Structure 1
Amino acid sequence: MRLSTNQVFNSHVSSYNKGYAELSKTHQQLTTGVRIQTPADDPVGSARLLQLEQQANLLGQYKANMTDATNSLTQEESILKSMINVAQRARDLAGHAGNGAYNDHNRQAIAAELKQIENELFGLMNSKNASGEYWFSGSQSGIQPYVRNADGTYSYQGDHSQQYLQVATGTQISISDNGFDAFESAKNVSRTETRLDTAGPNGQRLYLSQGTVATQRDFDGGFRAGAPYRLEISGDAATGNISYEVYDKNNVLVPAQDGGVGSYDPTLENPKISFLGVEFTLDAMLKDGESESDYATLLDGHSFEIGMAPDRFATVGSSASAQITDSTVVDADAYAAGFPAGGVTLTYDGAAYQAFAQPGNAPIPSTFDGVSNTLTVAGVEFSFSGAPVAGDQFSISADSQENQNILNTIAQLRQALEQPADGIEGGNLRIREAIATALGNIDSGMMQIESTQAHIGARLNSIDTLTLENESLSVYNASTQSLIRDTDIAEATSRLVLQQTKLEAAQAAFMRVSQLSLFDRM
């Protein structure tokens, strides 16, 4: 085969360019420290690097999310700590209010401070974060969680959800708590009610408190099933002894071991009886001319009915002139079967009030009495006052007595202390009962808040663990990327010397070949 001079030169240029390109690439790998300059350098390694870079970005996002979650939970914990401090002050005041030497003026002074505490708690429970979102509204962070109703009670408007952040692959962590779990789930110690059935021959001399739940297990396992009960008081004028018996709804005597039979001494300070996990205060009152020796005669024959406290109703209205003054369950069966779980909306159409179930706004059969100005809906009678205007609307939600938020607890105590008790029949019992209920419910509310704090602490501990894991994965990721991407300096240096030697040899050979000529041999 004949080789022309042009072919020889072209072959050399091509080989030289290839060798120089290889030398240049090796030199670039050494100077930059990066082995894979383009995907063509290592297709498999490039694909693996892309995966690792995506993982690194994800780990970086997880790290940022964990920082945000830590900040959020730390701030929430600070708010809850403030609530505990405020609630503890309210508890101290409740204890002071029970001082037997205090009169109405002293109790009203305590009520004034409780009002300030009530407002402070209301503000804390409606706290916002730096973005203007409410902490305790659940997933509805734009809705104020707690509102003050026209009757002075407080209602929760948020949902039962939580807000989450992804902090690891397959792992989300809650960065907030809803008000229902944090405050609404506190057990109410006042879940029973009493009323006088029969007074003694000389009129009522004995008053029975509404009762407080002292033992949850006994209340759930025994009291509920037998309600309503009948408490009968017997006095023996000859001996002066006073005893009591408790009968359940089937007229069966509650056994003595369950507290259904016992003796009662009205001369004791703050005398109590207890059965099936519920504690009651019995307050005896003498009139002028009567003495303690008359107790057995005066108290004999008193009987009381004791049952479960009915649901309460929270009302939010939009009327300027009319309002709901009372809400009473008049038909327990109809209420249990037909009252909507989501509540009802009452609307005045210009002639009468109409009822609609929520959610959905479906009409509910109702009876409006224009004379008494009452509306009966699903076993509940609502009483109105004032002159309604077409378009007036009220939202009604049922509030079980099983739980009670701490705001309503303090509000109820404040209202009880604001009312006069000095010289009023049964007034001292009412004050003692309000204080006993408040102490129990404040403790219950603080326990619920502390439980929420414990859950926050557990989440913060989880974040600490996940942070260490994230850092370890980030180090491993960076190390693996370095192994795949970075240049092996020793290998590349050796290769550079070899490529340089080959290139120099090729240049020398070409110089010799390019100088060959037939004329030199003639």
Structure 2
Amino acid sequence: MRISTGQYFANSLAGYSKNYSDITKTQSEISSGTRIQTAADDPVGASKLLQLQQQSARLTQYTSNITTTNNSLNNEESVLSSINTALQSARELTLQAGNGGLTDDDRASIANQLGDIESTVYGLLNSKDANGNYLFSGSKTNVQPYVKNADGSYTYQGDETQLSLQVSDTLSMATNDTGYSVFEQASNVARTSATLTAPATDDGRMTLTSGNMTSQTTYNSSFKAGEPYTLTFTSASAYTITDASGNDVTAESSGKGTYDSTDASGSTISLRGVDFQANVIAQTGDNDTTDMDAALAGHSFSLASKPDTITASRISSNTSTAQITSASVSDESAYSSTFPNGGAIIKFTSATDYQVYASPVTSSSQAIASGSMTSPATSITAAGVTFNVTGTPASGDQFSVTADAHQTQNVLNTISQLRSVLSTPISGDSAGALRVQNAVAAATGNLDSASNQIDITRGSIGARGNALDIQSAEISSLTLANTATQSSIGDTDTAEASVKLTLQQTMLEASQLAFSRISQLSLFDKI
């Protein structure tokens, strides 16, 4: 077989180029420390490296997420700690306000101090993080969680959604807690009322507090089942209690039907998870010769849960000046079965016609009630609730309706209500003194509930912090293993590469020498 000079030169060039390319590649592997520079170098190894690099990127992101979550939780925990400190001060002032020897000025001074604490807590509840997002608004990070209403009460505007970040392939961690879960779910101990039913004219000798819930389980399972109860004092040392069906339940009370009317601090009567305090107040003319058994006998009180409080407020875009001034449950059965748990929206389609929707209203919402007011308009009834209306509504006017079942109460409203009561002079007013007593008892219990709810949240933050520490250690281990595996697959073995480079250089030199020798051969050299 003959090989032309052109073929020989072409083959020599190809071989030379390949040898030179191999040397260059090997030199690059040695200088960079990377064995696999393209997928063609090692298809299987390149595939494994790609998977490991993707895992490494995820681990880096998880580490960043853990740092972000830790920072967020530490910030929240710091704010909650400050709130708890403020609530402890509020509780101390509340206990101080319960001192019967205080004057109106003393109570007013305590009210002012509570006002400062109220402002402090209000500011803390509306805290922002380093990015300017509200801590306690849930997923509505740009919405202020708490606002103060015109009547002095406070409303939560956030939602119930926790934000979270992925911290491993299988674990997502909450980065915040909502104001709803931390502050709106604090149990309200002041859920009951005590109403004097006899004598027809209050003689002021006997007062009974509204009651404080001491066991939510017993209250829900037993107290509510038998209400309303009738508590009747039969003498200066005895009483009876009957439930709504007329059954005698006196034996279930703490005193088993007896109390001490001479106790200046009052006698506690506990019934099915609720504590009521009875106080006997001597009247002018009462002395040792007064028959206190006869004076106190016949005093009767109705004990029951507070009815839901219905609140209606006009939408700022309403064109008329019409207002819903008050609302109350008029049909308990219809209210229980129809009124939406999340509140309602009343829409007027004319000056008299209206429709009621469950809140929030969407494009697909259907009216749950509708009707027409008689002229002149004074009231409307929907979902078992009667609303008193003043003024003439315009078409398009809307009113937002909420119902408070008194099961929970946020701490801002607790402090605000106590401050309001303490600010009102009560000198010489037995009814005012009872209001202070009720307010102090309710505030003490509700502040404890609020602090307990905050402690539960702080415990959850601590648990999440521990989980993040464990996950961080796990990621560190995975990162080290990932790095080692990538190195074993993709890094250059310097000794092996050096030997290969020497061989390749020798082969290149040999091919160069062979080419030089053969290219000089000619037929004329043999003639």
Normalising by structure 1, what TM-score?
Answer: 0.91
Q: Indicate conservation of the 8 Å contact 1:202/1:298, yes or no.
A: no
Q: Indicate conservation of the 8 Å contact 1:201/1:301, yes or no.
A: no
* In the alignment, structure 1 residue 357 sits paired with structure 2 residue 357: yes
| Aligned counterpart, 2:190 | 190
Q: Which moved more, 1:132-141 or 1:402-411?
A: 132-141
Cα offset, 1:386, TM superposition = 7.0
Q: Distance between the aligned counterparts of 1:180 and 1:166, measured in 2?
A: 23
| Aligned counterpart, 2:344 | 344
| Aligned counterpart, 1:465 | 470
CA separation of 1:494/1:5 partners in 2, compared to 1, >3 Å: closer, same or farther? same
Superposed counterparts of 1:289-304, under 5 Å: 289-291=285-287, 293-304=290-301
1:158-197 per-residue CA deviation (whole Å, 9 max, x = no partner) reads: 2211111112112211111111110011111111112112
Q: Indicate conservation of the 8 Å contact 1:228/1:307, yes or no.
A: yes
Cα offset, 1:142, TM superposition = 2.6
Q: Which moved more, 1:278-287 or 1:364-373?
A: 364-373
1:196-231 per-residue CA deviation (whole Å, 9 max, x = no partner) reads: 122289845212111001233332332122222111
Superposed counterparts of 1:137-216, under 5 Å: 137-199=137-199, 203=203, 205-216=205-216
| Aligned counterpart, 2:65 | 65
| Aligned counterpart, 1:495 | 500
Q: Which moved more, 1:148-157 or 1:446-455?
A: 148-157
Q: Distance between the aligned counterparts of 1:246 and 1:509, measured in 2?
A: 120
* In the alignment, structure 1 residue 316 sits paired with structure 2 residue 313: yes
| Aligned counterpart, 2:238 | 243
Superposed counterparts of 1:49-64, under 5 Å: 49-64=49-64
Q: Indicate conservation of the 8 Å contact 1:22/1:499, yes or no.
A: yes
CA separation of 1:114/1:133 partners in 2, compared to 1, >3 Å: closer, same or farther? same
| Aligned counterpart, 1:238 | none
Q: Distance between the aligned counterparts of 1:3 and 1:350, measured in 2?
A: 105
Q: Which moved more, 1:42-51 or 1:200-209?
A: 200-209
1:350-406 per-residue CA deviation (whole Å, 9 max, x = no partner) reads: 744835222337262457577793433322233356786776543111122111111
**Residue 474 of structure 1: which of 479, 501, 507 is its match?**
479
| Aligned counterpart, 2:260 | 265
Q: Which moved more, 1:139-148 or 1:200-209?
A: 200-209
Q: Which moved more, 1:286-295 or 1:439-448?
A: 286-295
1:269-298 per-residue CA deviation (whole Å, 9 max, x = no partner) reads: 222211212110112223211136532111
1:9-43 per-residue CA deviation (whole Å, 9 max, x = no partner) reads: 33333222222221221122112211112221111
* In the alignment, structure 1 residue 419 sits paired with structure 2 residue 424: yes
Q: Indicate conservation of the 8 Å contact 1:246/1:260, yes or no.
A: no
Q: Distance between the aligned counterparts of 1:512 and 1:301, measured in 2?
A: 135
Q: Distance between the aligned counterparts of 2:515 and 2:214, measured in 1?
A: 106
Q: Distance between the aligned counterparts of 2:83 and 2:89, measured in 1?
A: 10
Q: Which moved more, 1:150-159 or 1:67-76?
A: 150-159
Cα offset, 1:321, TM superposition = 5.5
Q: Indicate conservation of the 8 Å contact 1:357/1:363, yes or no.
A: yes
Count of matched residue positions in the alignment of Structure 1 and Structure 2: 517
Q: Distance between the aligned counterparts of 2:391 and 2:255, measured in 1?
A: 47
Q: Indicate conservation of the 8 Å contact 2:377/2:392, yes or no.
A: no
Q: Which moved more, 1:443-452 or 1:195-204?
A: 195-204
The one-letter amino acid of 2:300's match is S
| Aligned counterpart, 1:122 | 122
Q: Deviating runs (4+, > 6 A) in structure 1?
A: 369-372, 386-390
The one-letter amino acid of 1:358's match is A
Q: Distance between the aligned counterparts of 2:177 and 2:408, measured in 1?
A: 18
| Aligned counterpart, 1:23 | 23
Find the residue that maps to 2:451 and give its secondary structure.
helix
Q: Distance between the aligned counterparts of 2:394 and 2:71, measured in 1?
A: 49
CA separation of 1:507/1:49 partners in 2, compared to 1, >3 Å: closer, same or farther? same
Q: Percent of pairs identical after alignment?
A: 43
CA separation of 1:95/1:333 partners in 2, compared to 1, >3 Å: closer, same or farther? same
Q: Distance between the aligned counterparts of 1:122 and 1:288, measured in 2?
A: 46
Normalising by structure 2, what TM-score?
Answer: 0.91
| Aligned counterpart, 1:394 | 399
Q: Which moved more, 1:307-316 or 1:160-169?
A: 307-316
Find the residue that maps to 2:234 and give its secondary structure.
strand
Q: Distance between the aligned counterparts of 2:136 and 2:526, measured in 1?
A: 102
Superposed counterparts of 1:32-111, under 5 Å: 32-111=32-111
| Aligned counterpart, 1:277 | 273
* In the alignment, structure 1 residue 483 sits paired with structure 2 residue 479: no
Superposed counterparts of 1:432-471, under 5 Å: 432-471=437-476
The one-letter amino acid of 2:270's match is S
| Aligned counterpart, 2:385 | 380
CA separation of 1:290/1:316 partners in 2, compared to 1, >3 Å: closer, same or farther? same
CA separation of 1:7/1:321 partners in 2, compared to 1, >3 Å: closer, same or farther? closer
CA separation of 1:102/1:370 partners in 2, compared to 1, >3 Å: closer, same or farther? farther
Q: Indicate conservation of the 8 Å contact 2:328/2:386, yes or no.
A: yes
| Aligned counterpart, 1:225 | 225
Q: Indicate conservation of the 8 Å contact 2:253/2:272, yes or no.
A: yes
Structure 2 unmatched runs, 5+: 360-364
Q: Distance between the aligned counterparts of 1:303 and 1:366, measured in 2?
A: 42
**Residue 433 of structure 2: which of 409, 413, 428 is its match?**
428
RMSD: 2.6
Q: Indicate conservation of the 8 Å contact 1:345/1:394, yes or no.
A: yes
CA separation of 1:226/1:53 partners in 2, compared to 1, >3 Å: closer, same or farther? same
CA separation of 1:152/1:369 partners in 2, compared to 1, >3 Å: closer, same or farther? farther
**Residue 410 of structure 1: which of 404, 410, 415 is its match?**
415
CA separation of 1:391/1:372 partners in 2, compared to 1, >3 Å: closer, same or farther? closer
Q: Which moved more, 1:273-282 or 1:374-383?
A: 374-383
Q: Distance between the aligned counterparts of 1:376 and 1:285, measured in 2?
A: 43
Q: Indicate conservation of the 8 Å contact 1:126/1:135, yes or no.
A: yes
Q: Distance between the aligned counterparts of 1:58 and 1:87, measured in 2?
A: 43
